[in-house]
Every structure is written in structure tokens, then in C-alpha cells.
Amino acid sequence: MKKNNFDVLIIGSGLAGLATALKLADDKSIGIVCKTQLTESSSHWAQGGVAAAISSEDPISSHIKDTKNAGAGLCDEAITEFVANKSEKALDWLMNLGVNFTKNKQGNDLHLTREGGHSQMRVAHVADTTGKAIQEHLIQKILSHPNISVLEHHIAVDIITSEKMKIDMEKNTCLGAYILNNKNNHVETFTSNNIVLATGGASKVYLYTTNPDVSTGDGIAMGWRAGCKVANMEFVQFHPTCLFDEKDRSFLISETLRGEGAKLVLPSGETFMEKYDDRGDLAPRDIVAQAIDYEMKQKGLVCVYLDISEKSSDFIRKRFPMIYKRCLDRGIDITKEPIPVVPAAHYTCGGIMTDREGKTNINQLYAIGEVACTGLHGANRLASNSLLECLVFSSTAAASILSNDFTHEYQLPKWDESRVTDADEEVLITHTWNELRRFMWNYVGIVRTNKRLSRALHRINMLRDEVGEFYKNFKISSNLIELRNLLQVAELIVLSSIERKESRGLHYSKDFPKPAKIAKNTILKPEDYKNS
């Protein structure tokens, strides 16, 4: 294959990207772009598992119902049914690759656990490191495949389209991308017949998050700049239980602890979730996160606690080996004492609008996984549906790519650095990043108001102008690319939040505390904001 020329360029190295690559690689040349190392992704950090109604006591209709209940009236019914019906096939694909899911003590049946919002035990897992186990198997296959090139320490800058190139085509078409090679600080031009955005979410836009540092909304921002429609960006899921520790702010305490009987308690040891929902500690994440937020603010607490110490020490160490060790390293023995926890930004339920095949409104451009809005999650994602979504849509996108015969030989222009200089100082980037994440946490967090959203939008516009000038005049860096993308995603979250004049799912507004009678998606189109 020619250098920087692929049949399919996949931007992102999480489960969505790697699964798509493997499903295409026997027939296509594949390039995988990853910002740091191949192992760094939100998928790698996923503890819970893959939701699948495979038990004889768990009809698929129950999984569909739970997904729709969590989604608060905004799940696409056809997509929800489609994904749930493909769940067993998705699990089989992973097991055929060699992923060794945890089994029951007797026999070879998978051990299924439960998380918030699920009415049945239906989450297949590998102890409490499911994502890591899956990713390691996929990476082995990726590195040994002759048709796959892995481009570590590369970060995508922007997508090249026919519209940007002023090429007369029937519809705006994706032709390639500009990619910064961090090894030599040079922006390279990549040509591809298909591009798959699999960049994950945007939770690093918030001060406290469970996500790795790479989750800066790159795919959503690039897609928006290229002309993609986005939907439901106001629905940011805050995971209820992130470890409260100054030195370990991004460590998630899996919801499966509550599935196995852990209780959320106040410093006094008093439980409180029963006041907010009949399902108690197993209510969906939006309800639990809002309850914790309310208790903390009402009582002036810095955290609440999650207590599983009533379970046997042996059970805890075997069922949650990674969480047990990580907490013990921080001086917390979870077999004897509760874990201090706070909510943290966790999952972007909205994103680039796609169809069932992962297609965006730009030809030859696909979006899969957390970067996409497929209609599955609605106003709130049901736990462990995310890895399932990656697997199902990697299959539909791969089938679509294999069935289309689009190719092009356009000579795409090189990146122009002739009018920029080296940055004289990077303090602007660091300062702006910190300011953005703090006011997004304070103004666009779990509870929102019109005044807070207005203040956030005002600050975003000011910062975007400053960063825009910096971007025009200086050579770009990874930090600058990520900051530019985070500002764009922050704006989309705020604009979408302003549009929603109700409270639903993950979006709670004190000005509009009740849900509207009719649930509608919030859809933003780039052409409506060109002059804003």
C-alpha cells in the first residue's frame, strides 16, 4: 500500500475502532490512528461488561424495556430492538477471538451480573477488568494482521472533504484527513476512501471525569467542522461513583458493586437512595448521580460512601480484584470500610448523528461508538450497553464499507505552515484548559439553570476567539488541537442544553424541572451556526 493512503482510515483505538478494523482487514487496507498508545482508550478502562439478554430467564424484550426506561422516552425503538437482538452474536464474536469471560462456578455458563437500571442479571464480564481483557485480545489480532497499519502518537487535526476542496460532487464527501505526527511534529496528509471516526466521548471537558486524558471530543468536533449533524449533546452521563481521592481522581468504582449488594451511605452510615427511587441503589445512573449531588449540596459533604463490607472478604477480593487492589493502594480496605465516592463525567450520550450502518450525513464518513448518536441511549445510557453498541455497529459499518465500491485518486493538498511560527509560550493553552473544565463543571454539570448556561456560553465564545487566534498564528500541537476540540464540544453541549426546555434523563434544569409531554431529540446542524 502507498504511504498515507488506505482503503479505510480509522481514527481511534477503542473497541469500536479495533473491532471495525478486524472485520474489514481481510479485504481492505486499514490505517488506525491513535493519539498515544494503542492501549489508551476508554474501552480499556471499562470495568463493567457487555449487556446481553442470553439467560433463559431474561427475554430480549426485557433488555429492550430496560434500555428504553433508562433512555427516558428518547431511545429509537427500532435501533434499540436491533441492538438487543444482536447482543448474543456480539458476545459470541468476542469469545471466538478468545476473550475468557468469567464463568459460573458450576459448568461453562457465563457468570452474569447486574447494574443499575437492569431488571435482570445480564452483564457478561471478565472479573472487574472487562474492557482491558477485550482490548488486549483485539490488540494481539490487530498487531499480527498484515493489512493493518497502526499509527501511534498521531492525532487527527481535521477531515478533508470535497466541499472544503471545492470539488464538485453530488454530495459532500470525505476524502482524507490531516494528521499530526507527534514523533516529528509534522502534519501529514492522509488519503482514504472511507474514514471511520471512533474517537470516543468528550468527558475531559469537565473538571472531574472517569475518562482517560484522550477523551477530548476530537471526532465530534472534527465531524461538526466538516458538516456533520449532531444530536442530544446535552445528555452527559455522570457516573455516580468515582473514587474521591486527590491523587486518583479518574478511578471509577464499577456499578457492579451495587449490583452485588453494595449500598450508598452518608458519613453516618445511613442509606439514602430509597428516598429517591423504588429501585434504591440500582436506579439508573441519572437518578443516582442527581441524588448524590443533592445530598452532598444539602449537607455540605465533599463525598458520600459506597459500602460493600457486609460481603465476605474472600468474595470481594475474587469478584473485584482490581478495585480492591487500587483502593488498598490508597489506604482503603474495602472488605472492612466504605469507599469515598463522588459523581464524575463519564459518558457522552449524544454525538454525531448516524444511521444503522454508522453512516453520517457526509459520504464515506462513518462514526461508531461513543462519538456517535445512534438513538440507542436516548436521554441516558443503560449501563454496559456501550461496549455492546461498539460491537454491533462495527459489524454494520464494516458490511456497509465492504458493499460500496467508492474510490478516489484526488491529490489532496499538503498542510500549509508557511504563515505560522513556533508558539512563544503555551501558558494560554494550560490556563484555558483549566478554566474551561472548571466552569463546565460549575455551570453545565448535573444541575443546570438558564443563567449558568448563559454564563458558560459567554465564556466559551471569548475563549474560542483567543484560541482561534493562537491556532491561526502558531504551529499546532496536540494540546492545542485538543483544546480547540474541547471548546467546540463545550459549545455544542451548552447550545443543546439551552435548546432543551425541560428536564429529562441526564439533563436537569431548575428552570424547567418537569419533562415535556412529547420527547424530542435536540439536533444541531452546522449550517445554522456558520455566522454565529
Bridge partners for 156 per DSSP:
179
d(CA 338, CA 285) in angstroms, rounded, equals 20
Beta carbons of 128 and 320 less than 8 angstroms apart:
yes
The single residue listed with the C-alpha cell 462519538 is 371
Beta carbons of 353 and 377 less than 8 angstroms apart:
no
The single residue listed with the C-alpha cell 464524575 is 344
Among 285, 459, 484, 500, the one annotated catalytic: 285
The candidate with the shortest Cα–Cα distance to 375, out of 354, 348, 397, 347, is 354
d(CA 113, CA 310) in angstroms, rounded, equals 18
The candidate with the shortest Cα–Cα distance to 207, out of 508, 444, 505, is 444
d(CA 108, CA 433) in angstroms, rounded, equals 49
d(CA 186, CA 204) in angstroms, rounded, equals 25
d(CA 355, CA 393) in angstroms, rounded, equals 10
Whether the CA torsion 83, 86, 88, 93 is positive or negative: it is: negative
State how far Cα 462 lies from the chain centre: 27
The candidate with the shortest Cα–Cα distance to 210, out of 255, 241, 234, 235, is 241
d(CA 49, CA 255) in angstroms, rounded, equals 10
Beta carbons of 477 and 499 less than 8 angstroms apart:
no
Q: Which three cell numbers stand for residue 97?
A: 477471538
Burial class (CB in 10 A: 0-12, 13-18, 19+), 78: exposed
d(CA 374, CA 84) in angstroms, rounded, equals 13
Please list, in sequence order, all residues whose beta carbon lies within 8 angstroms of the beta carbon of residue 201, skipping any fewer than 6 positions away: 42, 211, 215, 217, 347, 348, 351, 370, 371
Beta carbons of 386 and 53 less than 8 angstroms apart:
no
Report the length, in residues, of the chain.
532
**Is 122 among the catalytic positions?**
no
- Going by the DSSP 8-state scheme, the letter that residue 10 receives in this structure is E
Bridge partners for 158 per DSSP:
178
Q: Active-site residues: which are they?
A: 285
